[in-house]
Amino acid sequence: MLLPPFNQDTPLFRGNLHGHTTNSDGLKPAAEVVSCYQSLGYDFIALSDHLWHDDSFAADRVTDAQHYDDSHFITIPSAELHCLGKRYDQDGLWHIVANGLPVDFDVASQDEDISTLISRAIEAGAYVSLAHPEWHSMTSDEAIMASTAHAVEVYNYSCAINSNRGSGIAVADILLQEGHRISFTATDDSHFNGLDYGGGWVMVGASELTADAIVTALKAGRHYSSTGAEIHAIIVDDNTLHISCSPAHHIIISGQGYTAHAVHGNNLTYAIFDLADFASPFFRITVLNNDGRKAWSNPYWFDQLR
């Protein structure tokens, strides 16, 4: 049994779900951002400008760049949404990324809480992820408060290179331990302040290159995340897990608590794991190279595989 996103006869589209333009605090206008990602070979991007009441860094409307779309490259209307109430943030602001928003989505009110904001974005049709949890010190209690989001950014390139706070895997694991069936994203959070682009992306198995198809596939978990490593196939055959990938040094499956199995070597392109004694209701896969490049699968839950 092939697992998502490899279980359907669809292409994998490469895209960045989190990035900014001069409409908020980015340093390039939308046209130049689009051109840059096209030159890198991406299939889609989300221009997720900050949406808040402070015009020193945020816009008051969703950036709409769909007029730049063509048959080979699209943009997805998105925003980095904010509301008050975040504990360890200098401005007291929550940060969530919403991909696939209507362009008339309203800025949060001063008294809107995080649960309400996430619900409103989901009801509007968006795929919602918790942005850069490590960067603004998201606590376990806060993660639970925001657990209705679809996903966690397990990697944020801009935060990784600018503050060494680019991971979100600890927050993701807390939510998984609590039974929340979240998915993972890797993003740039590009502002074009130096080389903060082209470092984290998702590969999405969608039926076609349209915003609706990409967002639908994201919500269904038909994607994996990467900083340069590739996953080619994930197969479960009875209690045996098969993983095919680009040459790697470490292939790891992780589960509940500290449950994990790993295979180590040089230029590994295939690994097999026995799941019969894997004491966890879920597993997730990490492919890791010695140069730091990674790929992460979404978590898979055994009750769904059965």
Per residue in 63-87, pLDDT (tens digit) is 999 999 999 999 999 999 999 999 9
Question: Strands 74-81 and 50-51: what pairing?
Answer: parallel
Range of the domain at 277: 231-305
Q: Are 21 and 52 part of one and the same domain? A: yes
Q: How many CB atoms lie within 10 A of CB 31?
A: 12
Domain boundary among 205, 226, 247: 226
Residues pairing with 284 in the sheet: 254
pLDDT (0 to 100) of residue 240: 97
- Amino acid found at 255: G
Q: Are 52 and 117 part of one and the same domain? A: yes
Binned at pLDDT 50, 70 and 90, residue 172 comes out as very high
Tell me, what DSSP letter sits at residue 12?
E
Domain boundary among 174, 203, 226: 226
| Cis amide leading into 5 (omega within 30) | yes
**Half-sphere exposure for 95 (CA within 13 Å, toward CB):** 21
Domain boundary among 226, 260, 284: 226
Question: Strands 151-156 and 183-187: what pairing?
Answer: parallel
Q: Are 56 and 101 part of one and the same domain? A: yes
Output the CA torsion sign for 195, 197, 200, 203: negative
Q: What is the pLDDT of residues 218-248, one digit of tens each?
A: 999 999 999 999 999 999 999 999 999 999 9
**Can you tell me the mean pLDDT for 43-64?**
97
Tell me the whole-structure pTM to 2 decimals.
0.97
Q: What CATH number should be reported for the domain holding residue 292?
A: 2.60.40
Q: Are 274 and 184 part of one and the same domain? A: no
Q: In this model, does residue 300 exceed pLDDT 80?
A: yes
Position 5 in a domain? no
Position 1 in a domain? no
pLDDT (0 to 100) of residue 67: 96
User: How many structural domains are present in the chain?
Assistant: 2
Position 4 in a domain? no
Instruction: Report yes or no: 157 and 196 within 8 Å, Cβ to Cβ.
Output: yes
Q: In this model, does residue 306 exceed pLDDT 80?
A: no
Q: Are 130 and 269 part of one and the same domain? A: no
Position 235 in a domain? yes
Q: Are 203 and 239 part of one and the same domain? A: no
Binned at pLDDT 50, 70 and 90, residue 211 comes out as very high
Q: What is the pLDDT of residues 81-96, one digit of tens each?
A: 999 999 999 999 999 9
User: What percentage of the chain carries pLDDT values higher than 90?
Assistant: 99
Reading the block at residue 262, the tokens are 């790993």
Binned at pLDDT 50, 70 and 90, residue 125 comes out as very high
Q: Are 194 and 252 part of one and the same domain? A: no
Position 93 in a domain? yes
Instruction: Report yes or no: 285 and 263 within 8 Å, Cβ to Cβ.
Output: no
**Can you tell me the mean pLDDT for 162-179?**
98
Q: In this model, does residue 302 exceed pLDDT 80?
A: yes
Q: How far apart are CA 221 and CA 7, in angstroms?
A: 12
Q: What CATH number should be reported for the domain holding residue 196?
A: 3.20.20.140
- Amino acid found at 28: K
Residues pairing with 187 in the sheet: 156
